Amino acid sequence: MMRQIMSTRTLVQLPPELLCHTLAFLDAYDLVRVRKTCKALKAMVDDSETLQYVIDLSYFQMIPVGISETDVPPATRRKQLRQHDAAWQRIGYKQRCTLPSFMSGSIYEFVGGIYGSVGEDCIHFARLPSPSDSGDLYYWSQPIDIMALADFTFCAAQDLLIVVTYSPDVQSRAYDIHLRSLTTNDAHPDAARPFLKALDNADIGRRISGPSGHVKVQIIRNYINMLCRNVIGNVPNVVDCVQMWDWKSPNEYQFILLFDDGIDDCSFIAEDKFLVIVDSKTMEIYSIADKSKPPQCTAKLSFPSLMGDFSYTSAFTSENPTPGSIFPYSRKFHQQPSCSFHPSTNDQLIGIVVRIARNTNPRDSHLYRFFTRCSAILELEGLFSRTYGQSTSGGPKLLWSMWGPQHTTWFRFRENENWEPSLYGFRTVESIDRSTYFVSRTPRQLRIRDFNPHIAWNYGAEDTSKWCGRLVRGEVARMILRPFTEPLGSALAYREFVSEELFDVTETKMDESRILLLKNDDNGDLKNIEALVF
């Protein structure tokens, strides 16, 4: 009997085109592992522009968006990606433009390349330029009742404009949330109903004291989140609440969380998770795991402890678009500016601002901001569960020493400094006021910090000969500073760049390819807006 001998072909013996096509289905981390298996696969990955592009996107924590990339060679896309990062390193903007004076309203929003500002009887919108389009500014307006307006926001990727107005029947509900098209101002075609009733008596079962407190509304894909302060109950026992809806659901999924001890701020950290700052000294993570019941508190995190005569007076998240609110959906409209790359929504930076004051001398106050990664906060759910089990009302909190020093980096700032830096992805931008005056109107430098951990880890391999920044390496802090009784965090490494050019600015905003420079007058009114396009 003759035995048929079958030849066996190994992976590296496959045709190069087929092998490259197969490896392209791997993510960047698996590609890096493949490089370590043998010389042949290492050469294949290193010599392939397509595979190197996958690794580069992960390294810079970006995703490609905009026009289809099928006609753009991978080598060109890699070059564009590196040029995009280099422009931020050198604060080398490509365009500079000024918005017209009618955009200088006191209530404004900047999301996804669109700037919205409240005017006399409407909301003005401006489509800002981007590096990959013609650079033209495009304007349009939507009429509103200014006297009834409480807040507004929008999601350009979904063509969604959310307008919060005071209810005409305050005895029945506090607010109405109108769901409109950002481009036409008609009722949004994807909305289950044209408006939502916020803090309806039938839902909360408590007396509405009057919609006079702070309101903050957010959108993340299908969810609308609204924070309301000092609106429910009887004086002096007025409580704060968070209400959420699935605005596309015909079943009108919603919930209301009441906070008898008060709430400073609320912000999404994932599509199904949000962070709440309670009584100025505790962060709580809530998860929407089961839509048949309200979100559950899955972890409680404490701030660093203070000396006996000090206390936290306020704490809130720095302004940062919620994950997904700026995610590039496949359906886009012509007013939304195009862009080549967008920060990955897998992870991003979270900023928290805290104010501390001495109880016997309120003038002895301290302002701090600290940054942490969204992924680190989400991982703390598991640590909390392993340490304390299920979270309960009045139950324990994860001590600062168990999570803070190794996951945060803190900065102290003065009263006259820009107390709320703008952040987007892993970058932050702020103006530097070197004056000793309380509020200086002189031109300022810009400071950009990049907390991308991949860049810090591989800093030694980068070509830094053409930029004047510096790397601050992270380390676990050991020094204790007044008024704290335990070390703060300094664990996050970052690259820092300071502009040589001076800018006429008092406040900054940013997104993936733009910095807004907002200039206030001596009365605090917004008088000038410029955009730097990278």
The rounded distance, in Å, linking the Cα atoms of 218 and 243 is 11
The rounded distance, in Å, linking the Cα atoms of 457 and 58 is 13
The rounded distance, in Å, linking the Cα atoms of 103 and 243 is 30
Asked whether 81 and 74 are in contact (CB, 8 A), the reply is: no
| pLDDT tens-digit series, residues 43-99 | 999 999 999 999 999 999 998 876 555 678 999 999 999 999 999 988 999 999 999
User: What is the pTM for the complete model shown?
Assistant: 0.90
The average pLDDT across 193-205 equals 84
Distances (CA, A) of 451 to 282, 421, 455, 493: 24, 14, 8, 6
| Single-letter code of the amino acid located at 419 | W
SS3 474: coil
Asked whether 115 and 98 are in contact (CB, 8 A), the reply is: no
Would you kindly state where each structural domain of the chain is located, as residue ranges?
11-89, 303-533
Rounded to an integer, what is the distance from CA 428 to the centroid of its chain? Answer: 10
Extract the tokens encoding 258: 């009441």
Confidence of residue 125 (pLDDT cuts 50, 70, 90): very high
The average pLDDT across 159-166 equals 94
What does CATH list as the number for 11-89? 1.20.1280
| pLDDT tens-digit series, residues 383-440 | 999 999 999 988 999 999 999 999 999 999 877 676 677 899 999 999 988 776 666 7
Q: Check residue 131 and give its pLDDT.
A: 80
Beta bridge partners of 470: 496
Q: In what order do the strands lie in the sheet with 408-413?
A: 310-317, 349-358, 361-373, 408-413
Computed from CA positions of residues 356, 391, 217, 204, in that sequence, does the dihedral angle turn out positive or negative?
negative
Confidence of residue 117 (pLDDT cuts 50, 70, 90): very high
The mean pLDDT of the chain is 86
Q: What is the DSSP secondary structure assignment for residue 368, as one 8-state letter? A: E
Which residue intervals of 358-399 are DSSP H helices?
Answer: 374-388
The average pLDDT across 190-215 equals 80
